[in-house]
Structure 1
Amino acid sequence: MSTSFTEPAKKHLGQNFLHDRSVIDKIVQAIDPKPGDAVVEIGPGQGALTFPLLKRHGVITAIEFDRDLHAPLQAAAREHGALRLIEGDVLGVDFSALTAELAPAEGKIRLAGNLPYNLSSPILFHALDHAAAIRDMHFMLQKEVVERMAAGPGSKVYGRLSVMLQAYCTVTPLFVVPPGAFRPAPKVDSAVVRLVPMPTESIHVADRRVFANVVRAAFGQRRKTLRNALNGVADVAAIEAAGLRADARAEQIEVAGFVRLANLLADA
């Protein structure tokens, strides 16, 4: 039984197609879809993950930008299960509306996918905007991106992505995937990560826009102290009122510290 089809990868779309069966099996096992789950795959490509998920789960919704892949995906999917294909850019898909359509009872969708390296951060931030509609996410990304996502204060790779994701989600790196698992092979290692959005009552951000602005400014120039990086966003009095040192750098501040400062500014 075929598990994928062959189409040439398009470099300008950042396509690297997964083909290693053992890696695919580990991803499916990590997702572990159950009856009734609304599983949505981002970027099915040649169906390497799609078809095993279909075989396991029976019904999958997938979002694919590359129009040339739509017909072969639909044709090859028929022997595995029911594939609903959404044509277009994932950044234009309203996950909250999709949840209302696919999972009206439970009210949550489950996202999965091998994300293109050049779009991974925009897709992650787009998912964050709809975190309340998402039960969990299992993504394959460049290994260094996963390291940034999970990093803690004091790490050289702790930054805006770390803080924004960890304020809303539990981030768990699962396993590393070598370049040889893809066709064509990328020049870097990849990794699979699980993100589980926190319950609303566990998210302490009062104003998402203010929080995002504070974090963006703080990490805008990493070598600057908070006093200088946040100039025009928060004064020294506000920084210190949030329990932070004005002479500290952003990479030294834990997520809760940024939340306290943003909430103080939102209330001002």
Structure 2
Amino acid sequence: MSKSMHGHRARKRFGQNFLNDDQVIHDIVSAIGPQPQQHLVEIGPGLAALTEPVAETSGHLHVIELDRDLADRLEQHPRLSKLLTVHRNDALKFDFQALAADLGGKLRVFGNLPYNISTPLIFHILQSLDVVDDMYFMLQKEVVDRMAAGPGSKAYGKLSIMVQQCAEVSLVLDVPPEAFTPAPKVDSAVVRLAPYAHPPFPVKDRAMLNRVCQTAFNQRRKTMRNNLKELLSAEQLEALQINPGARPETLAVADYVRIANWLSDNPPQEDE
């Protein structure tokens, strides 16, 4: 493992890859467009490639860092320390609601997310969308493709539906492996997620939508009738204007929301 220019060894267990390309850093910070008085939160600041320019532009930044060495560095940084509030936390368990309540306003969240926790972390933040203005995440390109995918494509699945139901997804830029130290084996991309104030397809219970998607996409090659038979019958699917013979990836976000909302009103009988 090569040491970075700052002498911190990237740790495999944290999935660390540090951004070191000045042009890419500039493009991401420009896309975020930090402003003074905004409540900016960075997940996993690492070696502060994004932290520094964002904190200097906005005047203050909250950072969530699990790696003790990196948290120490940030708190002792001669210039940055006074611009940062360092939260030594696991972002997967971090309470975004509580921070927004403390700050008295909505959060703008960004970060170069570790590959090994990116999807669970996004699901965690989706539970606090009412306190989030927007999000900018550097992720594996393949994860961004899944978020943005439409019905009928191989990439379309549970992640696409769960994200698109509640937020507008836009690709900000593609990032090549050589922009990082150590260079990952995959392409990366920056995505912007902007939560809807009024989702086009309001869902009654996100946990139910999650369950429907999980169950439907468990076996992608099977039909909706087969995959959802524990939850509702072919007749009930037809009544919801869903073709029971359709494959899961052919249904739109609105279709999944319709199924989930119906199940929220007519909960499936659990086996005793």
Q: TM-score range by the shorter chain?
A: over 0.9
- Check 1:81–1:181 CA distance in 2 against 1; reply closer, same or farther (3 A cut): farther
Partners in 2 of 1:36 and 1:136 — Cα distance? Answer: 15
Partners in 1 of 2:89 and 2:27 — Cα distance? Answer: 28
Q: Which residue of 1 aligns with 2:65?
A: 64
Gaps of 5+ in 2: 267-272
Q: Which residue of 2 aligns with 1:82?
A: 83
More moved, 187-196 vs 66-75: 66-75
Partners in 1 of 2:228 and 2:78 — Cα distance? Answer: 51
Q: How high is the sequence identity, in percent, across the aligned residues? A: 49
Is residue 246 from structure 1 mapped to residue 247 from structure 2 by the alignment? no
Does the Cα contact within 8 Å between 1:238 and 1:264 map onto a contact in 2? no
Alignment partner for residue 108 of structure 1, among 106, 109, 131?
A: 106
More moved, 83-92 vs 5-14: 5-14
Q: Which residue of 1 aligns with 2:186?
A: 188
Partners in 2 of 1:240 and 1:99 — Cα distance? Answer: 43
SS in 2 for 1:69: helix
Does the Cα contact within 8 Å between 2:156 and 2:249 map onto a contact in 1? yes
More moved, 28-37 vs 115-124: 28-37
Q: Which amino acid aligns with 2:108?
A: R
Does the Cα contact within 8 Å between 2:201 and 2:257 map onto a contact in 1? no
Computed over aligned residues only, the root mean square deviation of the Cα atoms, in angstroms, reads 1.4
Is residue 40 from structure 1 mapped to residue 14 from structure 2 by the alignment? no
Does the Cα contact within 8 Å between 1:148 and 1:159 map onto a contact in 2? yes
Partners in 2 of 1:33 and 1:115 — Cα distance? Answer: 19
Q: Which amino acid aligns with 1:186?
A: P
Q: Which residue of 1 aligns with 2:32?
A: 31
Q: How far off is 1:240 after superposition?
A: 1.2
Gaps of 5+ in 1: none
Alignment partner for residue 214 of structure 1, among 212, 215, 231?
A: 212
Is residue 99 from structure 1 mapped to residue 97 from structure 2 by the alignment? no
Map residues 3-42 of structure 1 onto 2, 5 A cutoff. Answer: 5-42=6-43
**TM-score scaled by length of structure 1:** 0.94
Q: How far off is 1:78 after superposition?
A: 2.6
Partners in 1 of 2:58 and 2:82 — Cα distance? Answer: 8
- Check 1:75–1:203 CA distance in 2 against 1; reply closer, same or farther (3 A cut): farther
Partners in 1 of 2:132 and 2:167 — Cα distance? Answer: 11
Q: Aligned pairs, how many?
A: 262
Partners in 1 of 2:39 and 2:78 — Cα distance? Answer: 17
**Which digits, 9 at most, give the CA deviation of each residue in 1:83-137, with x for residues without a partner?**
10000201111111111112x1xx3100000000110000000010001110000
Partners in 2 of 1:256 and 1:163 — Cα distance? Answer: 9
More moved, 239-248 vs 188-197: 239-248
Partners in 1 of 2:199 and 2:24 — Cα distance? Answer: 35
Partners in 2 of 1:185 and 1:77 — Cα distance? Answer: 28
Does the Cα contact within 8 Å between 1:178 and 1:189 map onto a contact in 2? yes
Partners in 2 of 1:5 and 1:157 — Cα distance? Answer: 37
Q: How far off is 1:76 after superposition?
A: 2.3
